[in-house]
Amino acid sequence: MEYGLNVFCGIDWAEAHHDIALVDDKGTLLARRRISDDAAGYRILLDLLAECGDSPEQPIPVAIETSRGLLVSAIRTGKRQVFSINPLAAARYRDRHSVSRKKSDPGDALVLANILRTDMYAHRPLPADSELAQAIAVLARAQQDAVWNKQQLVNQVRSLLREYFPGALEAFQAKQFGLARADARAVLTSAPTPTRAAGLSLAQLRSALKRAGRQRGIDAEAERLREIFRRDRATQPPAVEAAMGRQLLALIRQLDASCLAAEDLAEAVDASFREHPDAEILLSFPGLGGQLAARVLAEIGDDPNRFADARSLKAYAGSAPVTRASGKKLYVGRRSIKNNRLIAAGFLWAFSALKASPGAHAHYKRRREHGDWHASAQRHLLNRMIGQLYHCLHTRQLFDEQHAFTSSLSAALAEAA
């Protein structure tokens, strides 16, 4: 079976099976097949591609509605371009082939193949990131999820304590890390209700603080906690209070596991990130520590050809404004379609840079003086930092404060003088 080089493959992904369709540059259906989601099915797919002219020098491009999984890993071999098509975009293309709006798996595979045939230039292939960058992405995203999950549990604990144990909030919430602190979790485990907390002796409080790993100021902290717990406060009925105490213990156990997972993943992220050749460049930027830099690297990858220019990276991060014009109307505003993980890390980066970089602080201050709100000024600062990051990564240079914020730094120094 001999075909030309202009062959395109579409795969409709499912959990148990996958539908395959291959078309030529005229839209003629060359092959159609359903494979199982296992190694045998993946071999059938690769054999089918080979029959249609696939080779290491001229691999057949593939369109699929997901960017991860074993199937994607199996087809991302050599120089093959794999395009992850958004299901919403694929649904719009489906209307070009059928007016009934009926969905079928074989039909969707054909639609995906035709997307590449007609509009491959308008879609971005999956980046050719290194194996280390992909591993960092897995760990950094998992650590970020663990942090978000920990914060959700902290919010649940806080909400529950407000219902029956306000003394615990007074004791721990004002401190750094609040209810997620190890000593807060240890004390609440020992005394999950106001009644039991009021009955704790100084020795018991000291013991709980030591179990949490505290080494200094134990006696003073135990005195402070006992004084707070023994104040006169409104309470729930005994049975209700006991039930809420059991609920609190369940949440504390989940919070303990979440804190442990976040710490373990943070260590793994730091160890992997330090091995990457881009780590030194990323860490040279003000406001970027190990964890935050790893999150940035996880989202932008290390494929040097992924972004055509700095503007593409800024648009991907969501820091660059979007302009829409229709008739006499012109709209300039923030992007709603962006990499949400990257913009979340970016706002933390920009906020940290305000104290670490005089030029960044001067740039932010100037934007505020021009009328920007805090978020807008912070986004504008992030936009500039991402442009500098693109430049440094492509020229293999470390961040230079003098070159990055020449005008801002001069203004800051003049104001200080």
The answer to whether 227 touches 280, Cβ cutoff 8 Å, is no
Q: How far apart are alpha carbons 61 and 256 in whole angstroms?
A: 46
The answer to whether 363 touches 384, Cβ cutoff 8 Å, is yes
Residue 267: pLDDT over 50: yes
Kindly report which listed range (57-66, 118-127, 259-268, 328-337) carries the lowest average pLDDT score.
328-337
| Best CA proximity match to 397, nearest among 317, 278, 287 | 278
Q: Is 365 exposed, middle or buried (0-12, 13-18, 19+ CB in 10 A)?
A: middle
State the greatest distance between any 2 C-alpha atoms of the chain, in Å, as a whole number: 87
Q: How far apart are alpha carbons 343 and 337 in whole angstroms?
A: 11
CATH, domain range 7-122: 3.30.420.40
Q: Which has more confidence, 67 or 297?
A: 297
Q: pLDDT band for position 405 (50/70/90)?
A: confident
Q: How far apart are alpha carbons 297 and 123 in whole angstroms?
A: 22
List, in order, residues 6 or more apart from 21 with CB less than 8 Å away. Answer: 9, 10, 29, 31, 32, 106, 109, 110, 112, 113
Residue 3: pLDDT over 50: no
Work out the mean pLDDT of the chain and round it to a whole number: 89
Q: Which has more confidence, 336 or 317?
A: 317
Q: How far apart are alpha carbons 18 and 282 in whole angstroms?
A: 40
pLDDT tens by residue, 119-177: 888 888 999 899 999 999 999 999 999 999 999 999 999 999 999 999 999 999 888 88
What φ, ψ does residue 24 adopt, rounded to 5°?
-95, -175
Kindly report which listed range (152-166, 269-283, 369-383, 403-417) carries the lowest average pLDDT score.
403-417
Residue 38: pLDDT over 50: yes
Q: pLDDT band for position 2 (50/70/90)?
A: very low
Three-state SS for 360? helix
Residue 408: pLDDT over 60: no
How many Cβ atoms sit within 10 Å of the Cβ of residue 347? 16
- Averaged pLDDT for residues 249-255: 96
Q: Would you mind telling me the total number of residues written for the chain in this entry?
A: 417
Q: How far apart are alpha carbons 383 and 290 in whole angstroms?
A: 21
The backbone region for 194, taken as left when phi is positive above 0, alpha when psi lies in -120 to 50, beta otherwise, is: alpha
pLDDT at 175: 83
Q: How far is CA 112 from the centre of its chain?
A: 27
pLDDT tens by residue, 88-109: 888 888 877 666 667 778 888 9
Three-state SS for 257? helix
Kindly report which listed range (1-5, 128-132, 198-202, 387-391) carries the lowest average pLDDT score.
1-5
- Averaged pLDDT for residues 10-14: 91
Q: What is the pTM of this model?
A: 0.84
Q: How far apart are alpha carbons 20 and 2 in whole angstroms?
A: 18
Write out 107-174 in H/E/C secondary structure: HHHHHHHHHHHHHHHHCCECCCCCHHHHHHHHHHHHHHHHHHHHHHHHHHHHHHHHHHCHHHHHHHCC
pLDDT at 1: 41
Q: How far apart are alpha carbons 163 and 232 in whole angstroms?
A: 16
- Averaged pLDDT for residues 191-214: 92
Strand stretches in 285-399, DSSP E: 322-326, 329-333
The answer to whether 380 touches 334, Cβ cutoff 8 Å, is no
The answer to whether 202 touches 220, Cβ cutoff 8 Å, is no
Q: pLDDT band for position 411 (50/70/90)?
A: low
What φ, ψ does residue 156 adopt, rounded to 5°?
-65, -40
